[in-house]
Amino acid sequence: MKLILAIMSNDDSPAVSSALTKENYQVTRLATTGGFLRAGNTTLIVGTDDDKIERAIEVIGEYSRRRTEVVPSTASYDIGRYASFPVEVQVGGATIFVIDVEKFIKL
């Protein structure tokens, strides 16, 4: 058995969590904070059999893929007026650790 720790954005975690649950993985969601940005993110804990790890990683990747989104920039002064221009930002992505589980007990 192995334990997956998957850190992702708060926006992606509900979709990842429900996709995993639909495929019969057991999931625990933790509200976490990145040490560098000090912004909230989500860590999912998934304990599962060794042969189900690759599929779980696929599902996580499918719903938290790093992608580009176009958002309005903060307004700047241009052609005699303040205007907001769309800018491309990178969102999503997941950091995944897979750890061997020595013992798994449910009491």
Binding site for ligand 2BA (CB under 6 A): 7, 34-37, 39, 41, 93, 95
Closest distance between ligand 2BA and the C-beta of residue 8, in Å?
Answer: 8
- Nearest of 39, 32, 24 to residue 6 by alpha carbon: 32
What's the min distance (Å) between Cβ of 74 and ligand 2BA? Answer: 21
Structure tokens at 53: 């790890």
Minimum CB distance to ligand 2BA, residue 43 (Å): 8
36 or 104: CB nearest ligand 2BA: 36
**Residue whose C-beta lies closest to ligand 2BA:** 34
In 3D space, the residue among 98, 18, 13 whose CA is nearest the CA of residue 57 turns out to be 98
Taking each helix axis as running N to C, give the angle between helix 13-22 and helix 53-64, from 0 to 180 degrees, rounded to the nearest 10: 140
